[in-house]
C-alpha cells in the first residue's frame, strides 16, 4: 500500500484508497477537466471535494499541495520514479496524465504539437477570458457601474469563439479527440450553464462550436466527469 503520509493534505482529506490517484477538485469549469480526462482514460482515482464556496482551497492543507490555492490538484502514488508525485494547475495535470498513460495525446510529433498548441490556447486565452466574462456578466462584476470591462471581455470572447469555430469547420473535434478538447469543454459549456452569456455573445451564431459542444456532452465519460467530485448535499 502506498504511503502518502508525507503530504499534509491527506490529513485534511484522508485517502481511503492510497494506491489510487488522489484528485482534489470541485465540479467547476476548471475542476472537471481532470475528472473528465480520468473518466475517459479509465485510470482508477479517488476524488475529494474541495469546497471553494467555503474557501477550502485556501486551507493550509490544500496550499501545502498547491501553493497557488486553486483547484484542481492531484497526488499520483505511482509517479515517474515510482514514488508519489504532486501535480497542480489543470493544464499541467492534463499533460501529465496524457503522457503517463499514452492516451488522448497523439504519438506522432507533428500531431502532438498541434494538440499542445490548442491546449495552451485554452490555458492562455479561452480559460482566462471566458472566466472574466462570467465575472462581469453573472457574478460580482455585473454590479459595476463602469461597463467597459464587460465590453472588453465580451468582445474578446467573441473573437476567441470565432477562432475556435474556424478550427472546427469540417471537423468533429478541435484536432482529434484529445486533451485539447477536454481542456476547452468546461469553459465553453460554462458560457451557458454558469455564466448566462448566451444572449450577450449570440452563441447561436457559432454553429460549429455548438455542434462540437453537443458531441462532447453526449459522451458518457463527460457526463460522469462533470459531476465529480460530487457537491455536498
Residue keyed to cell 465580451 = 154
Residue 72 predicted with pLDDT over 70? yes
Average pLDDT score, the chain: 96
Residues 190-217 pLDDT 10s: 999 999 999 999 999 999 999 999 999 9
Q: What is the CA radius of gyration of the chain?
A: 18
Kind of pairing between the strands at 73-76 and 21-25: antiparallel
pLDDT at 78: 96
Residue 233 predicted with pLDDT over 80? no
Q: CATH number of the domain at 109-219, please?
A: 1.20.1050.10
pTM of the entire structure? 0.95
Largest Cα–Cα distance in the chain?
57
pLDDT at 154: 98
Give the three-class secondary structure for 224: helix
Residues 115-174 pLDDT 10s: 999 999 999 999 999 999 999 999 999 999 999 999 999 999 999 999 999 999 999 999
Could you tell me which of 76, 33, 78 has the C-alpha nearest to residue 179? 33
Percent of the chain clearing pLDDT 90 (strictly above): 97
Are the C-beta atoms of 119 and 183 separated by less than 8 Å? yes
pLDDT at 151: 97
pLDDT at 172: 97
Mean pLDDT of 34-44: 98
Pick the CATH number of 9-104 from 3.40.50.800, 3.30.565.10, 1.10.443.10, 3.40.30.10: 3.40.30.10
- Where does CATH 1.20.1050.10 sit in the chain? 109-219
Amino acid at each position: 500500500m502506498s504511503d502518502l503520509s508525507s503530504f499534509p493534505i491527506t490529513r485534511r482529506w484522508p485517502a481511503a484508497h492510497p494506491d489510487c490517484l488522489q484528485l482534489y477538485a470541485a465540479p467547476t469549469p476548471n475542476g472537471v477537466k481532470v475528472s473528465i480526462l480520468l473518466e475517459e482514460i479509465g485510470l482508477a482515482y479517488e476524488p475529494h471535494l474541495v469546497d471553494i464556496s467555503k474557501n477550502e482551497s485556501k486551507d493550509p492543507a490544500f496550499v501545502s499541495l498547491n501553493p497557488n490555492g486553486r483547484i484542481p490538484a492531484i497526488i499520483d502514488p505511482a509517479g515517474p520514479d515510482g514514488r508519489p508525485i504532486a501535480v497542480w494547475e489543470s493544464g499541467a495535470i492534463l499533460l501529465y496524465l496524457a503522457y503517463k498513460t499514452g492516451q488522448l495525446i497523439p504519438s506522432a510529433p507533428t500531431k502532438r504539437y498541434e494538440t499542445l498548441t490548442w491546449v495552451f490556447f485554452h490555458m492562455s486565452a479561452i480559460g482566462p477570458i471566458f472566466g472574466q466574462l462570467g465575472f462581469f456578466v453573472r457574478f460580482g462584476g455585473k454590479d459595476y457601474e463602469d461597463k467597459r470591462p464587460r465590453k472588453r471581455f465580451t468582445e474578446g470572447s467573441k473573437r476567441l469563439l470565432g477562432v475556435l469555430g474556424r478550427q472546427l469547420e469540417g471537423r468533429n473535434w478541435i484536432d482529434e479527440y484529445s486533451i485539447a478538447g477536454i481542456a476547452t469543454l468546461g469553459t465553453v459549456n460554462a458560457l451557458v450553464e454558469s455564466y448566462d452569456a448566451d444572449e450577450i455573445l449570440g452563441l447561436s451564431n457559432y454553429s460549429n462550436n455548438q455542434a462540437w459542444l453537443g458531441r462532447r456532452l453526449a459522451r458518457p465519460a463527460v457526463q460522469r466527469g462533470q459531476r465529480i467530485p460530487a457537491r455536498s448535499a
